[in-house]
Structure 1
Amino acid sequence: MSIDAVKAPFASAPLPGPTDALLAELEEIYKDLHANPELSMQEERTAGIAAAWLTRQGFEVTEKIGGTGVVGLLRNGDGPTVMLRADMDALPIQESTGLSYASRARGTDRFDQPTAIAHSCGHDMHVAWLMGATRILAENRNAWGGTVMAVFQPGEETAQGARAMIADGMVKRFPKPDVTLGQHVMPLSAGEIGWRTGTMLSAGDSWEVTLFGRGAHGSMPQKSIDPVVMAASAVMRLQTVVSREVAMTDSAVVTVGTLRAGMNENVIPDHALLRLNVRTFKDQVRARVLAAIKRILEAEAEASGAPKPPSFSVLSEYPVTRNDEAATHRVVSALAAHFGTERVHEVQPATASEDFGLFGAAWDVPAVFWVVGGIDPARFAAAEKAGKVDELPANHAPDFAPVIHPTLRTGVEAMLAAAGAWLVAKAPRS
C-alpha cells in the first residue's frame, strides 16, 4: 500500500521540532543513559531521571507503577488523550561498540547470574526521544489541546513491564487514551521511518525446559541416563519443527539460546536445562509450533528412559503487534506530511516482538507502532550497494548502537508528528 493511499485530511497540531540546544541536552542525557544501563524491572535510576524531567515540564507524575514504571499527564484543555510510550530497560550483554560512552555496567540478571549490561536494543534512545517530545509539548501548549500521557515502561525485554503496569491498575488510575503510540529504533538508514498496517511484529514465546536423567561417573555411562545426549538430540530434532511442520506460506523461528548441563568433564549430570525462543505471526502457527516443541522434548525424554518427563516453565509471552488500520493511516499521513514521502516507507513485518500492544488491548483502543532508522546513512547505503545489509549491527548485538544524529532528531519529530495528528490544533493567536 502506498503512502498516497493512506493520506487523509487530518488537521495536525503544529508543533516545532527540537532546537539545537535541546538536541545537545538530549544527546548528553542519551550518552549518560547508554553508559548507565539497567536490566529489566531494575530501572530505578532511569525512571528517576524520567520522572524528574516530566515534573520540570509541568506533568502530573506518578512513579513506581508496576515496579519502576512512570506515567506523566499533561492536561491542556479539551481534546483527545494520546499515550506516548518509551521502554527503559537494557540487556544482559557485554557491549563491544568501542564508543567513548560505552557501558561498563554489571549486575545480576533475572536468573540470579552475574552479567554485563548494555543498551544493545536502543531503549536509551527511546527514553531520550520521549523526553524531547514532552519538553516541546509542554513549551507549546498554545498550539494544541487535549491530554498527553507519557509512559516510561520497564521490563520490555522480558515481557514483564506492560503487564506489571496494567496489573498495578494503570487502566483504572489514568484517563483512557484515544490512541496508544510507540516507536523503536531499528537497523534502517538513520532518518528513515518504517510503517505498516496490521501485523507489524511477531508473537514471541520463551520457555525454560529441564530434562531429567541419572547422574554417574564419566567412566560408567551404563549407570547413567545421560541428559546431555538427550538435550543434544532434542536440539537437533527441534530444527525440523520449522522445516517440516510449518507450511512454506507461513513462517516461524525456533531458537535454543541456552543449553546447560554438568560442571565437570568426567561427571555425567542428572539434568540439562534448555531455554528456547519461538517467533510466529499467526495464532494457529504459534499453537502448532509450541505443541511440536513439547511433543519432541517429551518424546526424547521417553526414548532415553528418563526417570520423569521434562518440566516446562514460561519465561515470557509477547503478543503479535498489530497496528490499527485507520489509526495507522492517520499517523502515516502526518509523518509523510512532516518528513516527505521519500523518508517514510512501508516495511515488511519484523520477527522482533514487543509488549507495547498490551496497553491498547487493555484499554480497547487503537495502537500504532512504527520504526525509526538508526544506522549511519552512508554506511547503510554502502552495505545496501554491496548486498550486505544483513551484516550491519542489529538490535541485541553487542556492537549495536544507533548513530546519534540524525536518529535523535528524527525520533523526537516523529513522535510529535504522530501525537499532533490526534491532538486538537489551536488557532494561532493574533
Structure 2
Amino acid sequence: MTATSLTRLLSGLQDRLPGLRAVYEDLHAHPELSFHEFRTAGIVADRLRRQGWDVTEGVGGTGVVGVLANGEGPVVLLRADMDGLPVLERTGLPYASRATAVDAEGHEVPVMHACGHDMHVTCLLGATDRLAAARGEWRGTVVAVFQPAEEVGGAPAMIEDGFLERFPRADVCLGQHVAPAPAGFVGTRPGPVMAASDSLLVRLFGRGGHGSAPESTVDPVVMAAALVMRLQTIVSRETGAAQTAVVTVGSLHAGTKENIIPDTAELRINIRSTTPAVRDRVLAAVERIVRAEAAASGAPKDPEITGLNSFPVTVNDGPATDTVMTAIAGALGRERVFTLPQTLTGSEDFGVFGTALGVPSVFWHFGGADPALFRDADPRALLTDGLPATVPANHSPYFAPVPDPTIRIGVTTLLAAAAAWLCPEGPRGTGGTGGTGGTGGTGGTGGPVG
C-alpha cells in the first residue's frame, strides 16, 4: 500500500482515541480468566457488528472472529488475545481491577490484566474500526481473531473448533504484544522470536502424621523443598552457556496446619526453551530429578507428572518479517523499529495459527511503558542489560501500559503491517498478492531497521 493510502487509513484514528481509551480502561477494570472471557467477548462482538464485520462468537470456547471482505486480494489474519491472570492488582490506578473469579481448581482468586491483553483487544478494535471505515484504501479480506485463553492454549482450541474450515484461509498471520519497553518503540526478529513453553503439575506422595513425630512420616514438604532447589541445577549445570532454558516453580502447595505433616505436595513447573534439543533435555532432566528426589525421600508411591499445556517456539517468517518491519518503520520512523538481538524467553501460542494454516506469520512487540522511566536507556539494550527497577514487567501486579501513546502506536502498527498486504500491488518486493511476504528492502537483521 502506498504511503498516501496508509495516511488516509490512519486519518480518522486521532478522533477515535478517546473512545478507545475508554474501552481500554473498561477492559482493564473487568478482566476475566482464561476461557471465561464472556463479557470481553460480548463487547468485542458488539463493536465489530456495529463496524460492519461478519461476526462469529463462541469459537474455541469464548473466541470471537470477525471477517471483512473487501474485493479481490490477500487474506490477512490479525490476532489479539483476551484473557486476564489470577493476580491481585497493585497499580493504584483509578480503573484498577477489583475483580475476583473461581479458578479451575475451585479457588476464588483475584483477576488482573497483568499481561496487557486488554491493550491488545483495544488496539485490534481500533484497527478494525479504521479498516471498516476506509475500505476505499485497501483490497482483500481481513480475519480479526480475538482469542481466548492465550495463557493456557486458546489458539489450539480455536483450531480444534474448525477454525480452518469455518473462516477464509489467511495468506499471512500478524500479531503483536505490548512489552515493558518505552512506548513508541517496536521490536521483532526473523526466525525464532519467542521460546517454547511446557507446564507440568507434579504431585509428590508422602506419609502424613504429627509434626512432633516426623520420624514416623515421609514428609512431602521437605521432599518438595529439596526438589525446588535441585531443579535449579538443570539450567546452571546441565544447560550450556550458549543455550537458553528457564525452569520456574511457580506454585507449591502442601498441608493445612503447621503441626500436621501432610500426605501430599503439589508443584507447578514451567519450562522455557528455544530449541527442540534443549527442550527434550530439560524435560527429561525434570522427570529424572522428580523421581530421584521421591526415591531418595523414601516416598511410598511414585510421583505423578502431568502435562498442563505446551506451546512451540514462535517463529517469524524471514521475508514477511522484513515486510512488516519496513511497513512499521515507515509509519513510526526507522529509529523507532529495531531487531531483537535474541529469542525472548516468554512464550506465545500465536504461532499455532500460521503453523496450522501453513502460511507465514509475524509477531512483534511494542513498548507500553512511560518513556520517562527509562531516562537515557537504549531500548535495544533492555534484553541484555535488563529492565530498570522502576519498570514492572508482564505478569507483575504493577504492570499497566500507559494508554497514551500506547493505544495509538498499537493501532498504527497493526494497520501498517496489514497494509503491506492489503493493496493491489501486493506486499513490497513480491510483485503480486501472494501470501509469503516480501523482503521489504531494510538492510540486515542484526540491528535497527535502516
- Shorter-chain TM band: over 0.9
Partner of 2:422: 423
Select the residue among 106, 110, 116 that pairs with 2:110. 116
Question: Compared with structure 1, are the counterparts of its residues 17 and 214 closer, same or farther at alpha carbon in structure 2 (3 Å cutoff)?
Answer: farther
For 2:305 and 2:416, the matched residues in 1 are separated by 45
Partner of 1:405: 404
The runs of 5 or more residues in structure 1 that have no matched partner are 1-9
Partner of 1:219: 212
Superposition TM-score, scaled by structure 2 size: 0.90
Select the residue among 32, 36, 46 that pairs with 1:42. 36
Partner of 2:329: 336
Does the 8 Å contact 1:18/1:409 carry over to 2? Answer: no
Question: Compared with structure 1, are the counterparts of its residues 409 and 72 closer, same or farther at alpha carbon in structure 2 (3 Å cutoff)?
Answer: same
For 1:384 and 1:264, the matched residues in 2 are separated by 50
Select the residue among 267, 291, 295 that pairs with 1:302. 295
For 1:76 and 1:34, the matched residues in 2 are separated by 32
Question: Compared with structure 1, are the counterparts of its residues 328 and 400 closer, same or farther at alpha carbon in structure 2 (3 Å cutoff)?
Answer: same
Cα drift, residue 17 of structure 1: 4.5
36-45 vs 225-234, greater mean Cα deviation = 225-234
Does the 8 Å contact 1:39/1:92 carry over to 2? Answer: yes
Aligned pairs for 1:193-212 within 5 A: 193-212=186-205
Partner of 2:247: 254
For 2:108 and 2:333, the matched residues in 1 are separated by 47
Partner of 1:282: 275
The runs of 5 or more residues in structure 2 that have no matched partner are 426-450
Q: Deviations over 1:74-121 (max 9, x none)?
A: 000000000000000001000000100000001112222111101111
> Are 2:178 and 1:185 equivalent residues in the alignment?
yes
CA RMSD of aligned residues (A): 1.6
Partner of 1:152: 146
Cα drift, residue 390 of structure 1: 3.9
> Are 2:119 and 1:125 equivalent residues in the alignment?
yes
Superposition TM-score, scaled by structure 1 size: 0.94
For 1:358 and 1:25, the matched residues in 2 are separated by 32
Does the 8 Å contact 2:13/2:130 carry over to 1? Answer: no
- Secondary structure of the 2:150 match is coil
- Secondary structure of the 1:40 match is coil
Give the length in aligned residue pairs: 416
Q: Deviations over 1:398-418 (max 9, x none)?
A: 001001111000000000000
Question: Compared with structure 1, are the counterparts of its residues 82 and 290 closer, same or farther at alpha carbon in structure 2 (3 Å cutoff)?
Answer: same
Partner of 2:158: 165
Question: Compared with structure 1, are the counterparts of its residues 320 and 17 closer, same or farther at alpha carbon in structure 2 (3 Å cutoff)?
Answer: farther
Does the 8 Å contact 1:208/1:314 carry over to 2? Answer: yes
> Are 2:135 and 1:141 equivalent residues in the alignment?
yes
Does the 8 Å contact 2:374/2:388 carry over to 1? Answer: no
Counterpart code for 1:244: R
For 2:273 and 2:386, the matched residues in 1 are separated by 25
Q: Deviations over 1:205-230 (max 9, x none)?
A: 11110000111111221211111111
> Are 2:174 and 1:174 equivalent residues in the alignment?
no
314-323 vs 74-83, greater mean Cα deviation = 314-323
- Secondary structure of the 1:326 match is helix
Q: Deviations over 1:358-388 (max 9, x none)?
A: 0001111101000000011122225669977
Does the 8 Å contact 1:83/1:151 carry over to 2? Answer: yes
Cα drift, residue 21 of structure 1: 2.3
- Secondary structure of the 1:138 match is helix
Cα drift, residue 290 of structure 1: 0.7
Select the residue among 57, 70, 78 that pairs with 1:63. 57
Cα drift, residue 258 of structure 1: 1.0
Does the 8 Å contact 2:187/2:364 carry over to 1? Answer: yes
Counterpart code for 1:162: A
Counterpart code for 2:237: R
Counterpart code for 2:231: L
Cα drift, residue 62 of structure 1: 0.4
Does the 8 Å contact 1:17/1:412 carry over to 2? Answer: no
For 2:309 and 2:238, the matched residues in 1 are separated by 23
Counterpart code for 2:372: A
Partner of 1:19: 13
For 1:283 and 1:208, the matched residues in 2 are separated by 21
For 1:115 and 1:365, the matched residues in 2 are separated by 39
Partner of 2:434: none
Question: Compared with structure 1, are the counterparts of its residues 253 and 388 closer, same or farther at alpha carbon in structure 2 (3 Å cutoff)?
Answer: closer
For 2:305 and 2:204, the matched residues in 1 are separated by 9
4+ residue runs of structure 1 moved beyond 3 angstroms?
10-13, 382-388
For 1:19 and 1:201, the matched residues in 2 are separated by 30
For 2:179 and 2:269, the matched residues in 1 are separated by 23
For 1:82 and 1:388, the matched residues in 2 are separated by 35
Select the residue among 212, 228, 236 that pairs with 2:221. 228
- Secondary structure of the 1:351 match is coil
Does the 8 Å contact 2:328/2:416 carry over to 1? Answer: yes
For 2:293 and 2:213, the matched residues in 1 are separated by 22
Partner of 1:96: 90
Question: Compared with structure 1, are the counterparts of its residues 17 and 318 closer, same or farther at alpha carbon in structure 2 (3 Å cutoff)?
Answer: farther
